[in-house]
Amino acid sequence: MPNRLTILGSSSALPTSARFPSAQVLEMLGRYFLIDCGEGTQIQLRRSKLPFAKISAVFISHMHGDHFYGIFGVIASFAMLGRKNPLVIYAPPELEEIYTHHAKVLREELPYPLKFVHTKQSKLPYLIYEDKAVEVYAFQLRHRAPSTGFLFKEKPKLLPLRKGIHIEMKLSIKEIAGLRQGMDITRGDGSILLCSELTVQPKKLSSFAYCSDTAYCPEISEIVKDVDLLYHEATFPNEMAARARETMHSTASQAAEIAKKANASKLVIGHFSARFHDVSIFLRQAKAVFPETMIADDLRYFDF
Ligand SMILES: [Zn+2]
């Protein structure tokens, strides 16, 4: 099964008749992560036929309404569906504050544990989520409100040894452990055991990066280097670069520039200004810089 990104909302601040505000679901190695949660996210989740109940974690980039107004409905619907599994929300501290007040006023009691983990502004990426097979790093973007990007990565697994090789080469337990962790081992007699020869090499580990609202920020490309799929906002076409600067958003070619500098395999652009019903201009401008660009349309998905 490939990893899959499903777009639930691709508009910027104002929803349009064709586009909901920001939200997407990343399916990675059987896990389901909700990333940003604009108004109407649960409607789009229903339409997408994604397994609603399997979402284990939510990542919210920043405290602008078009990125989190939907979370209250999602939390309440999980309760109505009798959810028992814990839900963890990674978000700026203010979201917990708002939710706590909201739950108090509504006397909302949940049948499942809900936990908030606060994001922080950090120039260096930091590990915010980890399980057996996936890790997520958070990093600072450049926006009017503190905004966080997320890098999702498959974790390296222990490599299986080639069949019978441990007997043939009389490998010790220590040598086996080192080889399986990807190391070459120098033996007492000076000979070298090459990991690449003695183990079954894994397929390339997949990664996805989400760069929500941000002004052009070339440092991002170092953090998301060699990512398989990059989502980067492109709120405005190039002609509106001044407006993009003023509102701390990116243009189509700036998003493409980040993908190019990062050596990404593919780029998805979204968060289009609501004044553009036809977004082909964004695609044209981005493709001129980075040909492997695709448009985020609501309910469109991308395998990687
Ligand atoms: Zn914003």
- Which tens digits make up the pLDDT trace of 222-272? 999 999 999 999 999 999 999 999 999 999 999 999 999 999 999 999 999
pLDDT at 16: 87
* Residue positions annotated with a catalytic role: 66
pLDDT at 248: 96
The CA 213 to ligand 1 mean position distance, Å, reads: 5
pLDDT at 92: 98
The CA 214 to ligand 1 mean position distance, Å, reads: 8
pLDDT(202) > 80:
no
pLDDT(91) > 80:
yes
Are 99 and 72 in contact by the 8 Å Cβ rule? The answer is: yes
Tell me how far apart the alpha carbons of residues 280 and 106 are, in angstroms, rounded to a whole number.
44
The CA 287 to ligand 1 mean position distance, Å, reads: 24
pLDDT at 137: 98
Are 212 and 67 in contact by the 8 Å Cβ rule? The answer is: yes
pLDDT at 13: 84
What's the pLDDT tens digit per position in 276-289?
989 999 999 999 99
The CA 262 to ligand 1 mean position distance, Å, reads: 23
Residue percentage of the chain with pLDDT more than 70: 100
Average pLDDT over residues 175-202: 91
What is the overall mean pLDDT for the chain? 95
pLDDT at 283: 97
